[in-house]
Amino acid sequence: MDRKLIFLLAFTGGFVIMSIELLGGRILAPWFGSSVYVWGSIITVFMVALSLGYLIGGRLSLRNPSIKRFGALFIGGALLLGPLYGFGDSLMEAVFARVEDPRYGSLLASMALFFLPTVMLGMISPYSVRLLVQAKDESGQVAGLLYFVSTFGSALGTLGTSFYFILWFEVDTILLLLSGALLACGALALLAPHQEA
Amino acid sequence: MLRALALLLLVLTPTLRAEIIHEERSLYRNILVRDLGSERCLLFTVRRSNRNQSCLDLDDPDRLIFPYARMMLSGLLVAPEPKRILMVGLGGGTLPKVFSALTPEAQQDLVEIDEAVVTVAKRYFDFTPSAKMAVHVQDARVFLKRAAARGLTWDYIMLDAFTGDYIPEHLMTREFLEEVSAALTDDGVLVANTFASSALYDAETATYAAVFPALAEVRLDETLNRILVAQKRPFPSAEDRQAAAEALRRPLRRFASDPLPLARSFNVAPRFAEDTRLLTDQYAPVNLLQQQ
C-alpha cells in the first residue's frame, strides 16, 4: 500500500512540474514575448531549481524520513505556487519596468515565479527513493523504477497540458487544479497509516 | 533528325523552373527564397502549406503580387494620411516600400522578431530601410509595452505576424489588442492579416469586436486571406470610403493595385458566432483552434 502510494505521489509530482513549466511560457509571454530566450529562461530556472531540489531532498531524507514529511513536500509545493495567481502580473510588471533586456527580464521573472515551487517539487524524487529502498542491492532498481514513474508523469503532464488543458481551461484554472492535485497528494500521505521507513 | 531532337528538348524543358536561391534555418523557422520566372518569393516552410509569405516581381518590383498586400492598404480608406506607421511582421519588406511612396513623410516603425528575415529582406527583396524607417528586431508584444510606457502612438498599425505554421498566441489575445488600441491614435486604424477559416475565425473576430468599437472585414474573391480593419471611433461613411478609394487610384497604379474592390468589399458587420469564447492571455489555444 505504502509503496503504491509513493509511486502515485512521485508520478503526480512529475506531472505537475512539467505542466507548470509548459504554462510558464504562456504566463511570461504577455510581458517578455515568446522569443526563444524566454523558453531558455524558463528551462534554465526549472533545471537549476530541480537540481537544487534533488540535492536538498536527498539531504533531508537522512533525518527521520517518513511518509508524513514526504507529504509535507507536496503541501509546501502547492503553497509556493500560490503567488502565481495573486502577484504574478504585478511581479512581472515590476521586472518589466526595471529590466529593459527581455532576456534577463524573463530570466528574473521566471526565477521569482517558478524557482521555489520547483525546488520543493524536485525534493520529491530523492525522498521517494529513500522511502522505497529497503536493501542496498535493490537500490538501483528502485531508483530506476522511480525515475520511470515520475518521468512518465512528466511526459503525461506535458502532453495533457499542451494538447488539452489549454484548450479547455484558463491558465489560472489549470494552476488551481495542479495545486489541488498536490494538496490531495499531501493529504493522502499525511493520512496514510504510520510506518517507519 | 537533330532538329527534331532539339525541338523535343525544347518542348520537354519547362519554361519556368523553380529555383531555391537561399535556404536557412533561423531560430524561429525555415526561410526559403524561391525564384519562379520573374517572381521571387519568400517562404517560411517547405513541408505543409508551401505558402508564400511575400513575393517580388523582379521585372516590375513595384507590382504587388499578393492580393493580401493590397488588402493591407484597406486602412487608407478610413485613415488616408498616416504620419506614424507601425508594422508588425516584416516579410519581404513590400509594404514599407509602398508606404514610403504613398506617404513619404510618414515615420515607419517595423517590428520583426527574426533577425534572419530582416537580412533576407535586405539581400533578396530589395528592402532598403529609408531614413524614415526604423527596424526593431523584437517581439511585438514587448515592443508595444515599452512603447506604451514611453507614450508613443501610431495612426496606422499593421499586424502581419500570423501567416507561418506557428501562430504567436500572445499576439491574438484581448489584452494584446487593448495594448494595440492604447498605442493607436483616436483617428488611427489597425489592419490585421488574419485567418479566414477554421475555428480561429470566430474566436479572432469576436476578440477584435470586443476591443474595437468599429470592426470591418475585407475579403477578395481571388484569395483566402481576410483582413480585419479596426478603429476606436465609428468608421467614415461608405461615401467617404469610396472617395478615399478613388483618390488612391492614381498613386496605387504604380503598384498595379486597384483600391476600388477594397471599398466594395469593406464589410462593416463581420459575422461570428455569438457564443464564441474570447481569446485572452488566460485562454489562447490559438494553434489548436486553427486545426479544428
Listed range (B17-21, B38-42, B116-120) with the worst mean pLDDT? B17-21
Instruction: Of A4, A29, A168, A24, give the one whose Cα is nearest residue A110.
Output: A24
Decide if pLDDT at A154 tops 80: yes
Q: How far is A18 from chain B (nearest CA, A)?
A: 18
- What residues of B are in contact with residue A97 (Cβ under 8 Å)? 149
**Is B123 among the domain residues?**
yes
Q: What is the per-residue pLDDT across A113-127, written as a single tens digit (0 to 9) for each?
A: 999 999 999 999 999
Provide the pLDDT for residue A163.
94
Q: Which three cell numbers stand for residue B197?
A: 477559416
- Hey, what long-range contacts does A44-48 have (CB within 8 A, 24 or more apart)? A44/A107, A44/A110, A45/A107, A45/A110, A45/A111, A45/A114, A45/A115, A45/A118, A46/A17, A46/A21, A46/A114, A46/A118, A48/A115
- What residues of A are in contact with residue B170 (Cβ under 8 Å)? 26, 29-30, 33-34
**Is B15 among the domain residues?**
no
Listed range (A158-172, B159-173, B264-278) with the worst mean pLDDT? B159-173
Decide if pLDDT at B5 tops 90: no
**Is B150 among the domain residues?**
yes
Provide the pLDDT for residue B165.
66
**Is B112 among the domain residues?**
yes
| Whole-prediction pTM | 0.88
Q: How far is A188 from chain B (nearest CA, A)?
A: 31
Provide the pLDDT for residue A47.
98
Q: Do B139 and A166 touch (CB under 8 A)?
A: no
Mean pLDDT across the stretch B61-70? 83
Instruction: Of B239, B197, B236, B193, give the one whose Cα is nearest residue B217.
Output: B193
Mean pLDDT across the stretch A93-102? 92
**Is A197 among the domain residues?**
no
Q: What is the CATH number of the domain that holds B200?
A: 3.40.50.150
Pairing of strands B52-57, B39-43: antiparallel
Provide the pLDDT for residue B163.
64
Mean pLDDT across the stretch B49-54? 64
- What residues of B are in contact with residue A30 (Cβ under 8 Å)? 141, 170, 173, 175-176, 281
Q: In A38-100, where do the E strands start and end?
A: none
Q: How far is B44 from chain A (nearest CA, A)?
A: 17
Provide the pLDDT for residue B121.
92
Q: Do B113 and A31 touch (CB under 8 A)?
A: no
Q: Do A30 and B175 touch (CB under 8 A)?
A: yes
- How many residues are listed for chain A in this entry? 197
- The parent domain of residue B117 ranges over 67-290
Q: Do A26 and B284 touch (CB under 8 A)?
A: yes
Give the span between the Cα atoms of A31 and A10, in whole angstroms: 33
Mean pLDDT across the stretch A80-84? 92
**Is A148 among the domain residues?**
yes
Q: What is the per-residue pLDDT across A121-145, written as a single tens digit (0 to 9) for each?
A: 999 999 999 999 989 999 999 999 9
pLDDT band at residue B75 under the 50/70/90 scheme = very high
Q: How far is B289 from chain A (nearest CA, A)?
A: 8
Which is more confident, B68 or B180? Answer: B180
Give the span between the Cα atoms of A26 and A170, in whole angstroms: 11
Provide the pLDDT for residue B46.
56
**Is A196 among the domain residues?**
no
**Is B208 among the domain residues?**
yes
Contact B235, B74 (CB under 8 A): no
Listed range (A78-87, A159-168, B161-170, B228-237) with the worst mean pLDDT? B161-170
Question: Percent of chain A, pLDDT > 70?
Answer: 97
* Total structural domains within chain B: 1
Shortest CB distance from A34 goes to which of B145, B170, B281?
A: B170
Decide if pLDDT at B195 tops 80: no
* Total structural domains within chain A: 1
Active site residues of B: 160
- What residues of B are in contact with residue A94 (Cβ under 8 Å)? none
Question: Percent of chain B, pLDDT > 70?
Answer: 90
Q: Do B142 and A171 touch (CB under 8 A)?
A: no
Amino acid present at B70: R
Is A4 exposed, middle or buried, given 0-12, 13-18 or 19+ CB atoms closer than 10 A? exposed
Interface check B116 vs A, CB under 8 A: no
Residue of B nearest to A175 (CA): B282
Q: What is the CATH number of the domain that holds A29?
A: 1.20.1250.20
Decide if pLDDT at A197 tops 50: no
Decide if pLDDT at B36 tops 90: no
Instruction: Of B37, B42, B43, B69, give the one whose Cα is nearest residue B123.
Output: B42
Shortest CB distance from B170 goes to which of A30, A97, A167?
A: A30
Decide if pLDDT at A185 tops 90: yes
Residue of B nearest to A163 (CA): B288
Residue of A nearest to B167 (CA): A34
**Is A26 among the domain residues?**
yes
Q: How far is B141 from chain A (nearest CA, A)?
A: 6
Q: Do A166 and B145 touch (CB under 8 A)?
A: no
**Is B18 among the domain residues?**
no
- The parent domain of residue A113 ranges over 2-191
Q: Which three cell numbers stand for residue B132?
A: 524614415
Q: What is the per-residue pLDDT across B78-132, written as a single tens digit (0 to 9) for each?
A: 999 999 999 999 988 889 999 999 999 999 999 999 999 999 999 999 899 999 9
Provide the pLDDT for residue A65.
93
pLDDT band at residue B261 under the 50/70/90 scheme = very high
Interface check B280 vs A, CB under 8 A: yes
- What residues of B are in contact with residue A166 (Cβ under 8 Å)? 283-285, 288
- Find the helix packing angle between A171-191 and A2-32, rounded to 10°: 160
